Amino acid sequence: QVQLVESGGGLVQAGGSLRLSCAASGSIFSIKLMGWYRQAPGKQRELVAVITSGSTDYADSVKGRFTISRDNAKNTVYLQMNSLKPEDTAVYYCHSKISRTFFENPDDYWGQGTQVTVSS
């Protein structure tokens, strides 16, 4: 009953910018965290950025270039990506830990992924 839907991916030249969005919908009591992962061909999925109610964290490879933010009223997380490099090319996945009721522990939810391609 909970869905995460990403948008904003596409093709961009090196040095350009993209802004990804991920909206959570359905039966939601609370969101513990929201974040972004990415997976390039032949590589393992890696954490890019994560945000909780009081903190953010980033992979070393994107620090200073990417910014994660959150709109609690809209249950939406954003990833602003600047100074993009070809090595940023990957499928980007939204992830969230969500509790559906007051009584249950949070579960993990994943979006379907959105392709980001950075050309040189």
Phi/psi for 77 (5° steps) reads: -120, 145
CB 52 within 8 A of CB 74: no
The two structure tokens encoding residue 29: 């009591």
Q: Give the pLDDT confidence score for residue 30 in this predicted structure.
A: 93
Average model confidence (pLDDT) across the chain: 96
- pLDDT > 90 fraction of the chain, expressed in percent and rounded: 97
Tell whether the model's pLDDT for residue 1 goes beyond 90: no
List, for residues 56-100, the tens digit of each pLDDT value: 999 999 999 999 999 999 999 999 999 999 999 999 999 999 999
Question: What does the buried/exposed string (b/e) look like for 59-98 if buried means 16 or more CB atoms within 10 Å of the residue's CB?
Answer: eeebeeebbbebeeeebbbbbebeebeeebbbbbbbbbbb
Q: State the Cα–Cα distance between residues 81 and 74, nearest whole angstrom.
A: 21
Contacts 24+ apart (CB under 8 A), 51-56: 51/77
List, for residues 88-101, the tens digit of each pLDDT value: 999 999 999 999 99
Please enumerate in sequence order all residues whose Cβ is within 8 A of that of 28, keeping only pairs 6 or more positions apart, or say none. Answer: 2, 75, 98, 99, 100
Q: Give the pLDDT confidence score for residue 68 in this predicted structure.
A: 98
